Amino acid sequence: MKKIIMMLMLALVATTMQAQTVQDSNYRTVGYVKSDGTVQDSNYRTIGHIKDDGTVQDSNYRTVGYIKSNGTIQDSNYRTVGYVKSDGTVQDGNYRTVGYVKSDGTVQDGNYRTVGHARGVPASHAAVLFFFNLLR
């Protein structure tokens, strides 16, 4: 019995480590970000990929943008569409604040209204999912 319980616990831990859940402001699941960077909708359909090098690709692996190490978000033509600062502040290409990604994964718009939750998802990834339409 102990072995069965231990195996179930390990399976649960392995499953939760595979994907981080992305939720709307009412905690309804709207998608997942898997550990390999695959982004899925709530029905587990792949809508894109965020590679380790910051390349953002659609479901057909076409490059639709880039997340630079300095927090700059660019479209496929290398035009800057926004920024994610180290404190989680999200700005558009004109440096206007459009939102915030809090350390607990809460995503807020520019007026501090909660628009979603992305616990365990890097702030830059959450910003791409909630504020920059690279994967839509």
Rounded Cα distance between 101 and 17, Å, is 21
Say yes or no to pLDDT of 18 above 70: no
Instruction: Give the per-residue pLDDT at 19.
Output: 86
Q: Where are the domains of the chain?
A: 19-135
The whole-number average pLDDT for the span 4-16 is: 39
CA angle 21, 101, 66 (to 5 degrees): 80
Instruction: Give the per-residue pLDDT at 2.
Output: 38
Which residues make beta-bridge pairs with 81? Answer: none
Nearest to 109 by CA among 86, 126, 134: 126
Q: What is the mean pLDDT of the chain?
A: 88
Say yes or no to pLDDT of 12 above 50: no
Percent of the chain at pLDDT > 90 equals 83
CA angle 62, 53, 76 (to 5 degrees): 35
Residue pLDDT, tens place only, 58-73: 999 999 999 999 999 9
Instruction: Give the per-residue pLDDT at 10.
Output: 38
- State pTM to two decimals: 0.83
